[in-house]
Amino acid sequence: MKFKNVTIKELFWLVLSVITMGFCLSFLNKTSFGTDPCTTFNLGISKLLGLSLGNWQAIFNCILFLFVFLFGRDQIGWGTLANMFLVGYSFDFFSWINGMILPNDFFEPMLNRILITIPILGLFIIAVAIYIAIQQGISPYDAIPNMIDKKLTNIPFKLVRMGWDISVTILGVLLGEKIGLITIVMAFTLGPAISFAEKHIVAKLIRT
């Protein structure tokens, strides 16, 4: 497990990154361009069960956590716990705020949706890269491809991550959740994009 000493700086970036993910997803969900594979899957189930995304994602993460605890305990840390609960409930909170502040028809014009999607998507990828780069543990969802990658040493991580994200996206579609361009783009590029952001952006923020 990675419940090691954490600096104030690391803790700040850790909490900020997972809250930022929820913030970004609350906007991406409104653009009709889709969300990341994991959220697509969880939105599909949460709607079927009549639960908020935060409540269902907490349940889903706890289920995955048991599997990771048994077979990938080295992936667990403070970042795991933060991601398990803060992303989903941040999504619920910012969705509520957006509904109160923004006009009902704000997301209808295509131009508005495009102008929101581009920076929000970039911010989301950077936020994911930050919480991974801190190395204080990762979410159960993200731990699964890491565990697979350790077993399949001859396959690059980005391909393992792509396969995992694509599989989860398909499950989301089967559950009735609609996907969009962003869902497809993330399913194929999230792994490589995270690797790039972690190497070229995140290191400067956290390690300096």
pLDDT of residue 1: 64
Residue corresponding to tokens 């599909």: 44
Q: What is the mean pLDDT of the chain?
A: 86
Per the CB < 8 A criterion, the answer to whether 177 and 40 are in contact is yes
Domain boundaries along the sequence of the chain: 8-206
Among the listed residues 194, 180, 184, 74, the one whose alpha carbon sits nearest the alpha carbon of residue 125: 194
Tens of pLDDT, residues 72-87:
888 888 889 999 999 9
Cα 29 to chain centroid distance, Å, stands at 13
Cα distances (angstroms) measured from residue 90 to each of 6, 25, 98, 117, 181? 23, 9, 12, 18, 23
| Whole-number pLDDT of residue 98 | 92
For the entire predicted model, the pTM comes to: 0.85
- For residues 13 and 206, is the Cβ–Cβ distance under 8 A? yes
122: confidence class by pLDDT, cuts 50, 70, 90:
confident
Query: pLDDT grade, residue 138 (50/70/90)?
Result: confident
pLDDT at 2 (0 to 100): 61
Please tell me the predicted confidence (pLDDT) of residue 94.
Answer: 97
Whether 187 has a pLDDT exceeding 80, the answer reads no
